[in-house]
Amino acid sequence: MNLIAYTYEADTHCIGCTQKRFSITYSLDIFNQVDKEGNFVHALYDIDEWYELEDWYVQENPIQYLACGTCHGIIDTYEHELIMPATWQRNK
């Protein structure tokens, strides 16, 4: 399980931007930090589900990107395996 980002101020931010924003050096220093909205900063790990799973969305966007809300760099990428609808076959 690897730390990939943080969530605060209603968005996801990369580790580098979070370290600058809260003037921290180590990832464990973040757990008492509060954002501008009064909420605790949360860590996002590579095992956390951040992507959209709605069928209609996945069909149009099979590759999804998690971008930093500060620097807009790509933090993580997820590619869905598209499941094609089964075709109905008549008995001949």
Label residue 12 exposed, middle or buried (CB < 10 Å: 0-12, 13-18, 19+). Answer: buried
Q: Are 13 and 6 in contact (CB under 8 A)?
A: yes
Answer yes or no whether residue 70 interacts with Zn ion by CB under 5 A.
yes
Ordered strands of the 42-45 beta sheet:
11-14, 3-8, 42-45
Q: How far is the CB of 5 from Zn ion (least distance, A)?
A: 8
The stretch among 22-30, 47-55, 61-69, 84-92 that binds Zn ion (CB under 5 A) is: 61-69
Q: How far is the CB of 92 from Zn ion (least distance, A)?
A: 59
Q: Which is nearer to Zn ion, 34 or 71 (CB)?
A: 71
Interface positions with Zn ion (CB under 5 A): 14, 17, 68, 70-71
